[in-house]
Amino acid sequence: MTADDAVMTARALVLRDLEATRAANAESVSALEESVTTRRWWTSQWAEGTAYVAGLIAQDVQDSMLGRFGRWPLCPICEAAGAAGPHALYIYPDLGGPDPTWVCEESGVRVAALGDLPG
């Protein structure tokens, strides 16, 4: 997979998660596009970084969403179980890597692979 293919695949996965959580709007998609542009340049400078790009794009969007809207994505498992207060998921492994996964920040439970968040 080329670096550009990896970036575009990552874009599709993050967009799928934004749509599944009903967070896809002009601002969140704009944040995604900003990250895609930055990470495309980043992978052109460091080809070995291609394996990390999907998780990093997800983290970029998550950071942007926090500053604009609040926590994203919220944990659907704890929310359904009536946990005390909404809390976010995070990407594991922290600095990206192959097969990035959304994990509950409270329980540490794997919720979904990147691109597979439930709606």
| Segments forming the whole domain that contains residue 31 | 3-113
Q: Using CA atoms, how far apart are residues 23 and 29, in angstroms rounded to an integer?
A: 9
Structure tokens at 26: 């002009």
pLDDT for 19 beyond 90: yes
Q: What is the pLDDT of residues 67-114, one digit of tens each?
A: 888 899 999 888 666 666 788 999 998 766 788 999 998 889 999 999
80 in a domain, yes or no?
Answer: yes
118 in a domain, yes or no?
Answer: no
CA distances (Å), 114 to each of 20, 45, 51, 82, 83, in order? Answer: 11, 24, 14, 24, 23
Q: Using CA atoms, how far apart are residues 33 and 75, in angstroms rounded to an integer?
A: 24
What total of structural domains would you count in the chain?
Answer: 1
47 in a domain, yes or no?
Answer: yes
Q: What 3-state class would DSSP assign to 82?
A: coil
Q: What is the mean pLDDT of residues 17-44?
A: 96
DSSP 83: -
119 in a domain, yes or no?
Answer: no
Q: Nearest CA to 39 among 27, 55, 26? A: 55
CB atoms within 10 A of CB 105: 13
What is the per-residue pLDDT for 84?
Answer: 61
